[in-house]
Structure 1
């Protein structure tokens, strides 16, 4: 045993076991996140049953979401009359939907008080733009006040009219966001131009007439778009479906409010796969709705990637220059040692402190002065004097700067002294040696620092809440209007989206699957960014491997 301990084998086994445990933990987290998030898009069967509420029977329609065991005493204390000798019974969580009718979306029911579960094929699952899901038995399809189909023919007619309503809805959305948005943008530019001329004392009668003429043309175009929009809204509002809900009432649902409709109990496996792929694609490409608990997360994906790229462009050159100066040019003494200790300590500062610094210095000081110098016509409305993409990227660049500096210094320290001396002996200057020989050999270490910076920045939430991220951004930071990249705009972020949906949502049970799905997507996004950087680092390492052996 003593010889075995001296051989070092126990430490090797301990290290291997720790690595294996870490890998298993990572795989478990990914598996749990994927299992709870990716299953959200699979069409759920809709059950119908009865609930014994005291002396009366209540019919229920909804999706079975969770099952758990709970003590009978706890249920009895909650007011349920359960007659059983068992200490524990099963209770189920059913998504009832129809929140506008009942006031609640999810509810727990003791299993002994529920009747047999049945799954009628004609039950509709209606996804709405507002109020969440609607469940009921399809009875008829109406156009205005006239019934156009009922009975077995109603489903086919409903599908055709839902497709028409969705097409009209997309047209309305395009006009509101693109066409009317473009007109509003040009009107705002005219207002800023007029205000700028007024501040400069150049607002003469000729310019006033020109601006008035252009404004009149834009007002006419706006009126035409509004008229077109009104016609589309009247057209989309004519159709409706009539369904019988759980309490027996016939409820009319306007197809203008319907995002999707399907009969989950009547779908084949192939239909469910197609539905799953379509819903997952919508999750990746659509805008969020219903307080971010439904719809997609494309703005959050776009904002996260844009912020990480801008942050990388800022932090990489500054981190490399700082490391090069401290390692190659600065005199190694007490001052440099203090700076190195300070850099290392900065890596341990809580991220929220960086957020407070970014809000106070970048937003209020720099942004406020930029507005006064370059955008006086827009005041008092701030342009850069408000949280936005630029200040969020700068704040995270400062947060991750120590990582890049330390990694680059380590890379520079590993470059053999003989390489520097050989380059200088051949007549190269110190700058040429640094640029052409030392930095290329240290580039893998620089990429390592960038990888660590990207991994940390992409997952940060606390500082972003102060310097630019919002619950819902009206427009993306990149669009077709000059200067095309709008660094002053607020943006959405996957990390903050997870926090908002998971902890600020009014409908927690509906939001929970989206939390897992968004978290999985954030992990995948960070992995993709890191793998791209790792591939580049490996390429650089192979390219300069020969120099390292000199």
Structure 2
């Protein structure tokens, strides 16, 4: 290419800009493709997690027997010395596949008997493969899944049915009623006994407060204060003794009711025979779900699939979060996001209004804007450390000293909780709200402000009635961005309140109903816990995808609601530009 041609090419490139058009368009396509592939991967693995599979029975050449669900199939390179030990048929098949052998990852369950949840089985190890119609899979409260052949249905220690049809008939007859009794027992333990324990703790703290006041009176050496404190302490001590007598009777009644319920539901059970010939009795109340996997129709499978999804969305987790539901995590995520929004939006909007409408432009405001923009780039874990050090250990500890001294050394606000988590994430997302609000206020035409001033309006009246309503769509954009980021953050929450399993939710039926000091479960932390801290990683992987899908769905739902509100505001003030 000569000098003239190169010059013409440069002129063409600069004037037309088509190569840049292709480059930017290609970047957009690649970005959309990556997002689409990510969503498809999460959808595929998340939606298919709860579809019931068949039960396979493998008789191995070494005499062992394995039964369970095949969760994964793959090929792996078999060592040459291992290939030489195979029989002619297996050796021929492996060599035909370039030395690769097929193997299955089988979910064998029965952890209390075998001490393993999954097992790899290679094709050359199998002598017989079958899909027995009488094989049953159980989903249990503890120990994970169970695979076996039903042998006897037991009532009060006596077998009442020993054939498959009779066992299944009795299972259908008693299972729902037994589970209702068990749920009633759990409801009494968590509800009535929980409230009773809360009352006892409240009275105990009242007595301890009186004791602390008495100790302070002794230190003051003021006889009048000492006498008053002694009278109060004796009075509260007598009240506490009377209260203990009353609550003991109430507590004994509840324990008796629980024991009666246990006696009624613990007498039912099913004796099973495992693939390797071991016997195991499973109590009926322990069975969350049981079915003959190899005889299910499409309708039965769909029913189990939907039932598992309902359980996932409405129930509590079990088996170290690898099974059951995630309702506490859903609830905690939504409550924390709402609290964070209540903190960040007012402060962010007020700060932006002051900097844009009231503060004079100068070095201080310029430095402040640079600092706010830089805060958006600070790693989130730094905010977590700040939240733990300032909110929990400094501010929270001071609150405990002032208002909850009777509970010390056990912290109330002096440790991680949903309040400190919300405030920490509010700080993290504050720059987003401030910048978006400033841009929205900037977009309001000055002519509207001048017209307002010409009509005699004050600065605040102009901001309130002219600027803010027309900037509201832009403010909502900042709110959406802040909410999206806050709902997905995990690193700071690990330090300031999110836990693996929360015994109590931050909102319940016990006064004052909203408990800001409590720790909580979060879907993002739940995903981290399943992916990196689960003892049963193979069973946790599908749950990771399902929980990820749910978290994406919740964030999208919150965004859709916020976008709907923003669009309504935009239509109201169609002249606004932001």
TM-score by length of structure 2 reads: 0.91
CA distance in 2, matches of 1:133, 1:74: 37
- In the alignment, which of 32, 37, 40 is matched to residue 41 of structure 2? 32
**Does 1:115 find its partner at 2:114?**
no
How far did 1:204 drift? 4.4
- CA shift digits 1:70-94 (9 cap, x unpaired): 01118939x9996443411111111
Query: 1:319 touches 1:404 (CA, 8 Å); kept in 2?
Result: yes
Name 2:142's counterpart in structure 1.
130
Name 1:281's counterpart in structure 2.
310
**Does 1:90 find its partner at 2:119?**
no
**Does 1:191 find its partner at 2:220?**
no
Name 2:56's counterpart in structure 1.
47
Name 1:22's counterpart in structure 2.
31
| Structure 1: runs of 5+ lacking an equivalent | none
Name 1:168's counterpart in structure 2.
181
The DSSP-based 3-state class of the residue aligned with 1:44 is coil
- CA shift digits 1:477-517 (9 cap, x unpaired): 00112221111100000000000011100000111110000
How far did 1:337 drift? 0.8
CA distance in 1, matches of 2:114, 2:504: 35
| Pair 415,105 (structure 1): closer, same or farther in 2 beyond 3 Å | same
Query: Aligned-residue CA RMSD in angstroms?
Result: 1.9
How far did 1:10 drift? 3.5
How far did 1:27 drift? 2.1
Q: Computing the radius of gyration over CA atoms, which structure comes out larger, 1 or 2?
A: 2
How far did 1:35 drift? 1.1
- In the alignment, which of 209, 218, 229 is matched to residue 238 of structure 2? 209
CA distance in 2, matches of 1:67, 1:177: 43
- CA shift digits 1:6-45 (9 cap, x unpaired): 2333333433332233223222211111211221211111
Name 1:536's counterpart in structure 2.
565
| Structure 2: runs of 5+ lacking an equivalent | 1-8, 214-228
Query: 1:162 touches 1:260 (CA, 8 Å); kept in 2?
Result: no
Name 1:310's counterpart in structure 2.
339
Name 1:290's counterpart in structure 2.
319
**Does 1:359 find its partner at 2:388?**
yes
| Pair 474,334 (structure 1): closer, same or farther in 2 beyond 3 Å | same
The DSSP-based 3-state class of the residue aligned with 1:261 is strand
Alignment coverage as a number of residue pairs: 545
CA distance in 2, matches of 1:204, 1:454: 50
CA distance in 2, matches of 1:312, 1:485: 17
The DSSP-based 3-state class of the residue aligned with 1:117 is strand
TM-score by length of structure 1 reads: 0.95
How far did 1:191 drift? 1.2
**Does 1:524 find its partner at 2:553?**
yes
CA distance in 1, matches of 2:462, 2:285: 68
Name 2:20's counterpart in structure 1.
11
- CA shift digits 1:100-133 (9 cap, x unpaired): 1111110111112223432111111011111111
- CA shift digits 1:29-62 (9 cap, x unpaired): 111112112212111110112122xxx2222211
CA distance in 2, matches of 1:404, 1:251: 59
User: Mean Cα displacement is larger for which, 359-368 or 261-270?
Assistant: 261-270
How far did 1:326 drift? 1.1
CA distance in 2, matches of 1:318, 1:263: 58
How far did 1:370 drift? 0.7
- In the alignment, which of 437, 443, 460 is matched to residue 489 of structure 2? 460
User: Mean Cα displacement is larger for which, 200-209 or 277-286?
Assistant: 200-209
User: Mean Cα displacement is larger for which, 539-548 or 170-179?
Assistant: 539-548
User: Mean Cα displacement is larger for which, 342-351 or 242-251?
Assistant: 242-251
Query: 2:86 touches 2:124 (CA, 8 Å); kept in 1?
Result: no
Q: Structure 1 runs of 4+ off > 4 angstroms? A: 1-5, 79-82
